[in-house]
A and B are shown apart, each in its own frame.
Chain A
Amino acid sequence: MSSPIDHPTAPAEVEDTTIVRGRPTPGWERYLGWIYLVILILATGFLIWYPSTATAYAVSLALIVLMTISLASSWNFLSGFGGYTSFGHAGFFGIGSYTGALLLHYEKVSWIPAVIIAGLGAGMLALVIGYPVLRLRGPYFAIAMLAFSELCRVLITAWESVTLGGHGVYLPIVRFQREEDGATAWDRFGIQLHNNQNYYAMLVLAIIAVSIAYAIGTSRFGLELLAIRDDEVAAQSMGIQTTRVKITAFGLSAIFPATAGAIYARQVGYIDPPTVFLVIWSIRSIATAILGGQGTILGPIIGAIVLTLVSERVWEINPNLYQVIFGGLIVLVVLFMPGGLIFLLQKRGILPRSRRL
C-alpha cells in the first residue's frame, strides 16, 4: 500500500542497518501534538472572529469548507484508515438532512437538539446496518453502500405522508438581527453568533471531526484499523477484534455527514431527495480525502480548502462546465497524485514521515 509508514521512535542505530527511505524524522516532530494545539487555538480564534468582517458570501463559502472537512475527515475514519471504501456518506448526509429538517418542519424540537438527534440517529443506524454490511469486502462493500444510499433516497421519496416526498421540505426561516441593536460589544458578539449560527455549528462539527481523526490517528485503535486495511485476516489472527473495530469506526464516521446534512439543510432552507442523496456527496468526501491524503489527519483539511476553492472558482467561470472540469480533476488526481498532497510532501522530504500528520 502506498501509505505513509511510521518510524517516529526508530532508534538511531536501527536506521543505519535497515533501509529507511527519506530523511530521518526531524526533532520538531516530537512536539507535533503541541504544535497542533497552538494551530487549533489560533485557527479557532480566527474562525470565530471571521464573520465579523467577512461578507455573507465569504462566510457561506467558509461554511462549505468546514462542512467538507467534516465529511472527508469522517470518511477517513473507516475508509482511509480501515480501507473499507464507503459510498455511504451520501446516504447518511441525506438521512441527517431529512431528520433535522423534518424535526424542525413539524416543530418537534429546536434546532440544536434537532441537529444532534440527526447525527446520533444516523450513527445508531450505522451500528445496526454495520454488522451485516461490514462482512462484505472490497467491491462488494462499495456496491452495497452505493445501493444503500440510493435505497434511502427512493424510500424517503416514497414515504410521502411523513417526508412530503418529492415536494421537498421547507425549513423555518432564521430571522436576522441588526448588529447596531447591540448595546455592548458582548451583545454585538451575541448577535453575530445568532446571525451565523449555521456557520458556528459547522465550525464546532469540523473541530470535533478533526479531533477524533487525531485521536484515531495516534491511538492503538487507529493502528488496529491500519492493520485491517493492510490484511484483515492477519489482523484478526493477531488478536484484533476486527468486527468491533470496523463497526465502531463505521458508526463514528456516519455521525458527521448526518450532522453536517442537518446543518446544511438549515443553511439552504429547502431540501428534496435528489439534492441531498446525490452520489456527489460521497464523491466529494472521497475526492477531498484522496486529494489531501488517505488515512491522514491533516489531509482532509488541506483537501477541503483546495477542492472547495477550486470548485467555487470553476463554478464562477462557467457553471455549465462544472461537471466536466470536476470529473476531469478527479481523473487527474487518481492518475498523478494517488497518495495525495501529504504523501507528495513526505516523499519530497518536506514533511516528516509520521503517522501523526
Chain B
Amino acid sequence: MRRFLPRVVALGYLLVVLLAPLGMVFYRTFQHGAAPVWTAISSPEAVHAFELTLLVTAIAVPLNTVFGICAAFAIVRRRFPGKGLLNAFIDLPLAISPVVVGLSLYLLYGRTGWFGSWLTAHGIQVLFAWPAIALATVFVSVPFVAREVVPTLRELGDDQEQAARTLGASGWQTFRRVTLPSIRWAVVYGVVLTTARCLGEYGAVAIVSGRVAGKTETMTLLVDDDYQNFDLSGAYAAALVLAAIAVVVLVVMTLTKPKEEAA
C-alpha cells in the first residue's frame, strides 16, 4: 500500500484540483448538445475576442522569446554591473499582481499619464484599445522563456561555444549552429508557458481594455462577461475553446519533443 501512496496522492490531487473543474466545464458545455456551443462561439463577439486574443499572443510571444533568450545569455555568460538587478526584475511580473500591472499601465498611458498626454496629443489611442492589451500581456508574460533557458544554458557550459569560435565560427554562427540547438527544448517549453500565460491573462487586461464587447474584449474577458450576464452556455463554450487551445499547444509540444529528451 505504501508503495502506491505517492502516486495515489499525486493523481488524486490532480483529479480534484485540475480535472474535476475542467471536466465540469466540458460537461456543462455539451449538456444540451453541440448546436448551442456552435452558436455561442460563432457569434461576432466571440470571433472578435478570439482574434484579439490571438493577435495579442502573436505580439507578446515572439517579443518575450527574443528578450528571454537575450536576458538568459546576459545572466549566464556575461559579467556586468546590475546583473543581479536584471535577474530580479525578470521575476517581477510573477511577484506583482496583474491588477497592479494593469493599474500602473492605466496611470502611465491615461489621459494625464507621462506617455498618455503625449500620445493623446498625437492622436494615438493606447488605453482601451489593443495596444494597451498587448502591453499588459507582454508585461505579465516576460519571465517564462528566460526562466527556462537560464538553467539549461548554465548546465550546458561554454565549452562548445569556445570550440566553435576556435573553429572559425562568428558569434552568430556559434549561436545558431551550436547554442540554439542545445537549448531548443528549454526555449520551446518557455514559449509554451508564455503562450499559455498570454491566452489566460485576465486581471491586467481587464483594467486597461475598457471591456467593450466586440471591440476590446479578449477571450477571458468574454467568458467573464457572459457569466456575469447569465449567458452560461456562452461562458462555458468560450472557456472550453480557451482550454482547448492550451491543451493543443501542450500536446503539440509533447509530440514534437524527441522521446529520449522528454523527461
- Bound pair (A, B): no
